[in-house]
Amino acid sequence: MPAVTEPRTAPAGRRERPAKPALTREGVVATATALVREEGAARLTMRRLAQRLDTGPASLYVYVRDTAELQAAVLGEFLAGVDLAPVGAAGPWDERLRRVLASYAGLLHDYPGLARVAVVTRPSGEHYLALIEALLALLAEGGVPDDRAAWLVDLFLLVATASAAEHGTRAEEHTEAAADDAVARAVRGASADRFPHVARLVEDLLSGEGPDRARWFVDLMLAGAAAVPRPSPSLVGEG
């Protein structure tokens, strides 16, 4: 073991670490985003983030209100990765819409912890607005009435997010199918007397999670939105 030639911290009073950069909100969020990218959302904690930034956790509270706000910011940062190119591309509008949604879903699929956050926390930042704008533009192009389009976008994102959260969690657990097995066992073992429909449809109930199902969901929502008007025009004026 060679002797340590330099102490961990610089000589005495003043320290000159490798340029411990001054903290800013942007820096904090950027480091948090990197942390999630490298280690997953479950590892994004105030304490671990502080460690990366070479401070104590208390210092972070100067830049973010709490964990929820931090997660919203990271989520917003990640949405930069959604491919919005299909909006301006050639081809049928609904096919391009499916591509945008698939890009969003794929992102959350790769970061299941983030999907879990997204179920509960709205992303902050402009990328989220850009995503909504993109979906609204495509729906407008497809002639979906404005009021339905607004709610439909919500439904699209809700379904994509929740699917990713649900599936991602199962995929992470134990040996990939262990937790699912609990449901699978229950469904497969369902008494045909008491649960005849379940027993008859076992395979259909357990199939899916694949892209087939996601695509069917989108098709269904599009067809449904085209067919069903929004509830009574409401008596509320334009406020």
> Which positions from 115 through 174 interact with DNA, judged by CB under 7 A?
none
Residues 121/41, Cβ–Cβ less than 8 Å: no
Find all residues with CB under 8 Å of 59, minimum gap 6, and list them: 23, 50, 53
**Counting contacts by CB under 7 A, is residue 55 touching DNA?**
yes
Map residues 173-202 to x or -, x wherever contact with a copy of itself holds by CB under 8 A. Answer: x-----xx-xx--xx--x---xxxxx-xx-
**Counting contacts by CB under 8 A, is residue 216 touching a copy of itself?**
yes
**How far is it, in rounded angstroms, from Cα 214 to Cα 163?**
8
> Which positions from 22 through 51 interact with DNA, judged by CB under 7 A?
23, 43, 45-48
**How far is it, in rounded angstroms, from Cα 209 to Cα 164?**
9
What are 24's two structure tokens? 């800013």
29 versus 53: smaller Cβ distance to a copy of itself: 29
- Grouping H, G, I as helix, E, B as strand and the rest as coil, residue 128 is helix
Closest by alpha carbon to 79, among 133, 39, 28?
133
> Which positions from 85 through 114 interact with a copy of itself, judged by CB under 8 A?
none
- The minimum distance between CB 66 and DNA, in angstroms, equals 3
- The minimum distance between CB 91 and a copy of itself, in angstroms, equals 20
**Counting contacts by CB under 8 A, is residue 23 touching a copy of itself?**
no
What is the CB neighbour count within 10 angstroms for residue 120? Answer: 11
- The minimum distance between CB 63 and DNA, in angstroms, equals 8
Tell me 217's DSSP state: H
**Counting contacts by CB under 8 A, is residue 3 touching a copy of itself?**
no
What is the CB neighbour count within 10 angstroms for residue 206? Answer: 13
30 versus 205: smaller Cβ distance to DNA: 30
Selected range binding a copy of itself among 11-19, 25-33, 38-46, 154-162, rule: CB under 8 A: 154-162
Q: Which does 47 bind (CB under 5 to 8 A by kind): a copy of itself, DNA, none?
A: DNA
2 versus 231: smaller Cβ distance to a copy of itself: 231
* Buried/exposed 209-218: b ≥16 CB within 10 Å, e otherwise: eeeeebeebb
Q: Which positions lie near DNA, rule CB under 7 A?
A: 23, 43, 45-48, 55-59, 61-62, 66-68
